[in-house]
Amino acid sequence: MSALPLQPREARLEAITPERIAAVSAVEQQVYSHPWSPTNFSDSLIAGYQCQCLVGPPASDGAPPVAAEGRTLWSRWAGTGKPAAAAPAPSPAATPAVPAAPVTLLPDGSTLIGYYIAMKGVDEVHLLNITVAPAFQRQGWASMMLELLATWSRGQGAQWLWLEARASNLRALEVYERHGYRRVGLRKAYYPGHGGVRENAVVMSLRLNESPSAWGGLQ
């Protein structure tokens, strides 16, 4: 797959490859107390899951990519290369001028902003992992990935998107609800927790034939 040219403050979706698993795993370790292992990512690739990373220009190209009003994000899902709608602009106070956390680079020197892993079924898609690197959180990138995933899923003929979220992760639950997801169930003791105490998962679903116009943004 050929890559689109990057300009400062732009980003694109690209496939996670075996060579990129180390960088993806590094971000995973930064974000979660109970992260996926490199083997989890490798197994996802082998299984043929939709494994995508959001890639920005090298840090040496100038300011790191920041979601802002008027920016252009390019998607490469399903090989279309179509431009994606920009995510809502965050408030100035929520967007630091310089990332507070270290930037993780991919082997080619480009910046790893985030990634997602999704599993396609007969008429549904299950989102297994969606993560934004600490340096780029609260800037709208997760919102963009959710929208691109929904677009890809519709193109695959899926009717539903499913996911689980920790019951304690109130911000994530709110974000998913803004994107049209509804709480439909609870998986007890689904996630590992501290001190051997396991945590419940909230099961959520999004009906894909509903209009995305009511979706909110992720800041």
The per-residue pLDDT for 47 is: 98
Q: Which helix (H) or strand (E) holds 122?
A: none
The number of residues making up the chain comes to: 219
pTM, entire model: 0.77
Query: b/e for 67-86, b at 16 or more Cβ within 10 A?
Result: beeebebbbbbeeeeeebeb
- Look up residue 70 and give its amino acid: G
Yes or no: say if 14 and 55 are a contact pair by the CB < 8 Å rule.
yes
Residue 125 φ then ψ, to 5°: -130, 135
Cα–Cα distance list, 198 to 88, 173, 185, 192, 201 (Å): 35, 18, 17, 5, 10
Residue 166 CA, distance from chain mean position: 16
The residues annotated with a catalytic role in the active site are 164, 176
* Nearest CA-CA partner of 135 in 116, 117, 114, 115: 114
DSSP helix/strand/coil, 201: strand
The position carrying tokens 């179509």 is 82
Q: What pLDDT sits at residue 193?
A: 86
Give per-10-residue mean pLDDT for the chain (219 aa).
44 96 98 96 98 88 46 35 42 44 92 97 96 92 93 96 95 92 95 90 92 40
**CB of 117 closer than 8 Å to CB of 193:** no
Residue with tokens 């698993």: 21
